[in-house]
Amino acid sequence: MGHFEGFDVAGFWDDSAYALKEYVEEAPPSRELIASLEEELGGYHLPDSYIALMNAQNGGVPTRVCFPMAEPTDWAESYLEISGIRGIGRTRSQSLGGEFGSRFWIEMWQYPDIGVYFADTPSAGHDMLALDYRTCGKHGEPTVVHVDQEHDFAITSVAENFEAFVMGLVDESVYDTSEQDRLDALATVREGSFSPILLRAFGEVEDVLPDADRRLRALGEAVVQDKGFFALHADARSMLMYDYLFWLFTSFNRVGSFEQYLRTPPQHERSYALPDYELMIIFILGSEPYGFTTGGYGPGFLEQWWESRIASSHIVETADGYRLADAVITAMLDKLATVAGQGG
């Protein structure tokens, strides 16, 4: 190929059904296609090594998806992971000129126009890899950089060029921390201190559920045992956790809307004196740190829970605001007892 000397190109790609559908163009790129795409991408000249790799297979998902990093990023302390490498074409959604190609991230997500976004990560758009032409110009040899949307599009150097990046990829097993992650998550739910909001709620429901704190820890442990980490999504355990947290919250708070429950209105200074869901189990105010926290969340999952509970009348509007229906509370307490009896 003129590049990748001694490199096993044939063994580089993992041709799964997903990769073939989303990434792999059916034919190598022609000179005409390359020229038209380069113009479409902003006049950036694609590296010869990129074209050489695409001539062997035009886009796809590598068998090795991790790249060691000298400095940490929001992805991890010592590496980053990619989902695929974009082919030179327009027929696949993940190709450079496809539906989710390079210009999509610049125009729709406001990524900085520094070159060509050639690889995505499992974060679903919240960080990307790009060929960076800021130093070399549009016809030079670009470096490879990591761009982090979550941190004001911070740019971190990854590799001196595309060929070095490809040849430096390693198998994800090198960075398999799943068992340590599971142990850390278990420590969080078993030993982590509770937020002031939860501590107050436990006192408010003591007559009904004297071991409310133990029930929450048991449910958190069940979540970790199911997933290997502490996070809430749309599964049955998560939905039960959403119900339980809402019940605890409404033991001493009036909820007038989903938006109010999720986060205190922006005109108010954030304080545990004005409780909300985020401060209850996700975000920590510096003056009063606590340990029982998911550390992040997907608002869409919580909104899905709310809408489904409203539609099914599990959550009803009363004179005291939105609350769980009595029958739902009874069923929820029974489920919590079952989880606790199973030892989490």
Contact 108, 115 (CB under 8 A): no
The whole-angstrom separation of Cα 319 and Cα 183 is: 44
Q: pLDDT tens digits, residue range 301-337?
A: 899 999 999 999 999 999 999 999 999 999 999 999 9
272 in Cβ contact with 288 (< 8 Å): yes
> Over the stretch 76-96, which tens digit does the pLDDT of each residue have?
889 999 999 999 999 999 999
Type of residue found at 74:
D
State the pLDDT confidence band at 344, using cuts at 50, 70 and 90. Answer: very low
Q: Give dist(CA 63, CA 201) in Å, integer.
A: 49
pLDDT given for residue 287 in this prediction: 66
DSSP classification of residue 60: B
Nearest to 275 by CA among 290, 294, 253: 253
- Type and span of the H or E element at 321: strand 321-324
CA dihedral 156→160→161→162, nearest 10 degrees, is -60
Does residue 267 surpass a pLDDT of 90?
no
Which one, of 126, 115, 114, 119, lies nearest residue 75 by Cα?
126
Please state at what angle helix 299-311 crosses helix 236-249, rounded to 10 degrees. 80
Give 66-76 pLDDT, tens digit per residue. Answer: 999 988 887 78
pLDDT digits (tens, 9 = 90+) for 197-212: 999 999 999 999 999 9
Instruction: Read off the tokens for 243.
Output: 């119900």
**Minimal CA–CA distance to 17: which of 61, 55, 81?**
61
Confidence of residue 180 (pLDDT cuts 50, 70, 90): confident
Per the document, the length of the chain is: 344
Mean pLDDT value across the chain: 93
Surface-to-core class of residue 89, CB atoms within 10 Å of its CB (0-12 exposed, 13-18 middle, 19+ buried) = buried
Count CB neighbours of 51 within 10 A: 20
At what angle are helices 236-249 and 326-341 packed, to 10 degrees?
120
Q: CB neighbours of 153 closer than 8 A, spacing ≥ 6?
A: 110, 111, 112, 147
Q: How confident is the model at residue 343 (pLDDT cuts 50, 70, 90)?
A: low
Using a 10 angstrom Cβ sphere, with 0-12 exposed, 13-18 middle and 19 or more buried, the burial of residue 177 is exposed
Residue 40: its pLDDT value, please? Answer: 97
